[in-house]
Amino acid sequence: MYRLFFLPLFFCIACQSPPDKPVSKKEQDFLSVLSDAYIFAYPLVLMDLTRKYAEKQERKPSPNLFFHHRHFPDPTFKMVVKPNLDTYYSTAWLNLKEQPVVLSLPKTDRYFLVPLYDAWTNVFAAPGTRTTGAEARDFLIAGPHWKGIVPDGMQLYRSPTNMVYAIGRIQVNNPEDGSNVVTQIQDRLALTPLDQWTRKDKYTANDLKLPLNIPPPKEQLKKLRVDSFFNLFNRLLEDNPPYPTDQKQLSLMKVYGIGSGKHFSLANFPDSLQERILQIPIKTHQGFPKLYKAELINGWRTLMGLADYGIDYKKRAFVAHFGLGANWSEDTVYPTSVLDAEGTPFHGKNNYRLHFPKGQLPPAQAFWSITMYNAQYFLVPNPIDRYAIGDRDDLLVNEDGSLDIWIQHESPAPEKRKNWLPAPKETFTLTLRIYWPEERVLTANWNVPPVEKINQ
């Protein structure tokens, strides 16, 4: 009976079997439920592996403590995919199991936001310029079971889980601005356990260290055996309960040993299915690019409604895989493209132009940028160390008020180099970020122009 609720929700990417090894309808149902369960569990497991990766990177891991990124990411940065080159990060992993934590934000006229992600990658609060203004504020972040008194003058943010990922972002106009202005703002961010706050103890913070030579979280997850994956998920559920709307899915999965207090074992399945179950992680990762698709407009796809996924588990897993830490669309919109105007994948052997007509620049109430990534969504080295380009750069505007961005591997003519976004030799992808987008972006009344292949 439960499978009738569950099966229509997802496309089963694990239950397709070789034609010479047919499976029964009952076995297909087993595989379908387990495949869908992997998609459901994926964001929670990835968040935990990302937390552990950060702890190794920080050398001296401390929960409830900001670690500041004092420089823009470079091609060695692998902690999350699609890092931005617009803001300095101040990140923290909160453990709310014992008590709440006070988040203190300073007064500043610089655009910033500090979205708070629960363990399932949903944003449950996003204090910052757009939502809470520029004045200094204190916020109490409490776990799902905390019962206590909120200090006077403090706003409560209730997290659905005890694990919280805070990803502070502060606008940086250039490296000098980052060193002279933004680092001082970072130093005034604070996280303080509630008992220390009441005693008025001082907080501390650390700079992020150089990354260790260990695989990034997504690669670690990809290599987890399916039984290790589900049993890690089972343990994580104890402190990070799913939402009430997830009960149908949980009821289905617990039959197979997936759930809080459960143990998943391959030995519980017929020998004929065990090898196929072991293939679920491989097939899921192969199928991620097709798991969720937004409408293609001018070669660009724009996912809306991010960071608050409800029961859209495919979108939640897709975004975690390709862009863990996405903001609410009201804060940032991320059009992404891998295709030129002719529908051909981008490749560094070609030269391209992105042309914005007069009055048609990305409608941002804060700022915008375009970032270059490789096929794995990481930064790629280039001779001028320019990985993104946008409205805070000294761009050359055409006489008619339009703007051209030149996208290619080799350096263009001298008069075009201000507007050059270097590309790798191989395939690549582009992401446009629009911070605090205007309403016409959110309602799809503005679209990114196509990227044209050119001869020069």
- Confidence bin at 60 (pLDDT 50/70/90): low
Among residues 189, 180, 203, the alpha carbon closest in space to that of 90 is found at 189
Q: pLDDT for 17-51, tens place per residue?
A: 444 467 788 888 889 999 999 999 999 999 999 99
Residue 335 vs residues 9, 403, 429: alpha-carbon distances, Å = 26, 18, 11
Angle between helices 313-323 and 25-58 (to 10 degrees): 40
Q: pLDDT for 302-345, tens place per residue?
A: 999 999 999 999 999 999 999 899 999 999 999 999 999 999 99
Predicted confidence at residue 185, as pLDDT, reads 96
What is the DSSP pairing of strand 428-437 with strand 364-374? antiparallel
What is the DSSP pairing of strand 137-142 with strand 190-193? unpaired
What does the DSSP assignment read for 187-250? HT-EEEEHHHHHHTPPP--EEPPPPPSS--HHHHHHHS-HHHHHHHHHHHHTTS---GGGHHHH
Q: Judge whether 194 and 100 are in contact, CB under 8 Å.
A: yes
**Eight-class DSSP state of 361:** S
Residues 66 and 398: their CA atoms lie apart, in Å, by 43
Residues 381 and 313: their CA atoms lie apart, in Å, by 34
Residues 307 and 243: their CA atoms lie apart, in Å, by 14
If DSSP codes are grouped into helix, strand and coil, which group holds residue 349? coil
pTM given for the model: 0.88
Residues 264, 255, 267, 18, CA torsion sign: negative
Q: pLDDT for 263-315, tens place per residue?
A: 999 999 988 899 999 999 999 999 999 999 899 999 999 999 999 999 999 99
Among residues 164, 163, 158, 155, the alpha carbon closest in space to that of 145 is found at 158
If DSSP codes are grouped into helix, strand and coil, which group holds residue 130? helix
Q: Looking at this protein, which amino acid is placed at residue 68?
A: H
What is the DSSP pairing of strand 190-193 with strand 428-437? unpaired
**Eight-class DSSP state of 330:** T
Q: Of the ranges 55-69, 128-142, 224-238, 350-364, which one carries the lowest mean pLDDT score? A: 55-69
What does the DSSP assignment read for 16-41? ---TTS---HHHHHHHHHHHHHHHHH
Residues above pLDDT 90, as percent of the chain: 80
* Mean pLDDT (the chain, rounded): 90
What are the structural domains of the chain?
2-47+216-290 (no CATH), 60-207 (2.60.40.1610), 296-454 (2.60.120.600)
